[in-house]
């Protein structure tokens, strides 16, 4: 099962991760601030984020259950975290290089690995203190292909975290939110309102249609099952709900 352990003090020689554990967090004095596993080989990625709150918020949006898995892909453009649910819903979090204070990418190709999204969020939360933002260094890979995290903002103490990675699950399909004209169709709506709308439309055995109307700009969600229910977001009527809209022709998706 998944375990999370915090150890105060210095790491003992030869000490290993707990059996079956996927994450290890330890707090040390600066006398042992060298991250475990930083060997002679140059890592594929070393990056520093000044404040992890934004990253935690973004990842929490796609953490649908306690044991949510994720596939992480690294590139010179940033980090992409992909999650899937029941083979029918996919979400991606793009962490662009602009998010990081430092982003040193030296890997060949685009490394991909799987991990527990819940453990990643929990470990990042270990670096957050109310009213204080400590820079966090993220490094991959460790000596056993771990994802390594450590705080770098305090001269007196350092927090280290190691997250065990695994061979990623195959993502057999991908969404393409573009029609034949290659003009993106996008809209932005508050997440709480969107979730409430989807919950209202989810009847047993039902399907959901999404209609885009460029004139007047609107997005319509329609559920069909034992009955019909339609929810419309009009861009001009309430910009607090439908914040942004881009579509140049009428489209429909099921």
Once rounded to an integer, what is the mean pLDDT over residues 143-153?
90
- Phi/psi of residue 145, each to 5°? 65, 30
In this predicted model, which residue has the larger pLDDT, 25 or 118?
Answer: 118
Query: In 83-143, which residue ranges form alpha helices assigned H by DSSP?
Result: 117-125
Q: Does 236 have pLDDT greater than 90?
A: no
Q: Work out the mean pLDDT of the chain and round it to a whole number.
A: 77
pLDDT for 131: 64
Q: Which of 44-58, 68-82, 119-133, 164-178 has the lowest mean pLDDT?
A: 164-178
pLDDT for 34: 40
Once rounded to an integer, what is the mean pLDDT over residues 36-49?
72
3 within 8 A of 21, measured Cβ to Cβ: yes
CA–CA gap between residue 13 and residue 90 (Å, rounded): 42
Q: For a pLDDT cut of 90, what percent of the chain falls above it? A: 26
CA–CA gap between residue 96 and residue 82 (Å, rounded): 14
* pTM over cut 0.85: no
Q: Does 55 have pLDDT greater than 80?
A: yes
Q: What confidence tier does 101 reach under pLDDT thresholds 50, 70, 90?
A: very high
List, by residue range, all CATH 3.70.10.10 domains of the chain: 6-163
DSSP 39: -
Once rounded to an integer, what is the mean pLDDT over residues 177-187?
60
CATH of domain 6-163: 3.70.10.10
The sign of the dihedral angle between the CA atoms of 21, 52, 98, 117 is positive
102 within 8 A of 47, measured Cβ to Cβ: yes
């Amino acid at each position: 099962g998944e375990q999370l352990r915090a150890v105060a003090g210095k790491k003992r020689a030869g000490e290993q991760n707990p059996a079956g554990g996927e994450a290890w967090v330890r707090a040390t004095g600066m006398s042992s601030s060298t991250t475990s596993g930083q060997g002679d080989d140059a890592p594929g990625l070393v990056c520093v984020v000044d404040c992890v709150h934004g990253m935690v918020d973004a990842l929490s949006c796609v953490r649908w259950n306690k044991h949510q898995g994720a596939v992480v892909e690294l590139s010179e453009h940033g980090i992409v975290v992909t999650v899937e649910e029941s083979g029918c819903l996919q979400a991606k979090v793009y962490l662009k290089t602009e998010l990081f204070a430092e982003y040193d990418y030296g890997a060949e190709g685009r490394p991909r690995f799987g991990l527990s999204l819940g453990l990643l969020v929990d470990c990042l939360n270990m670096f957050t203190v109310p009213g204080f933002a400590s820079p966090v260094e993220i490094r991959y890979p460790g000596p056993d292909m771990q994802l390594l995290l450590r705080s770098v903002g305090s001269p007196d103490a350092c927090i280290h975290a190691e997250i065990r990675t695994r061979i990623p699950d195959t993502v057999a399909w991908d969404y393409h939110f573009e029609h034949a004209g290659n003009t993106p169709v996008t809209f932005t709506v508050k997440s709480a309102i969107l979730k409430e709308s989807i919950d209202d439309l989810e009847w047993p055995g039902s399907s959901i249609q999404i209609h885009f109307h460029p004139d007047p700009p609107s997005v319509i969600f329609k559920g069909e099952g034992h009955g019909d229910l339609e929810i419309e977001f009009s861009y001009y009527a309430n910009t607090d709900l439908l914040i942004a809209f881009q579509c140049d022709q009428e489209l429909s998706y099921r």
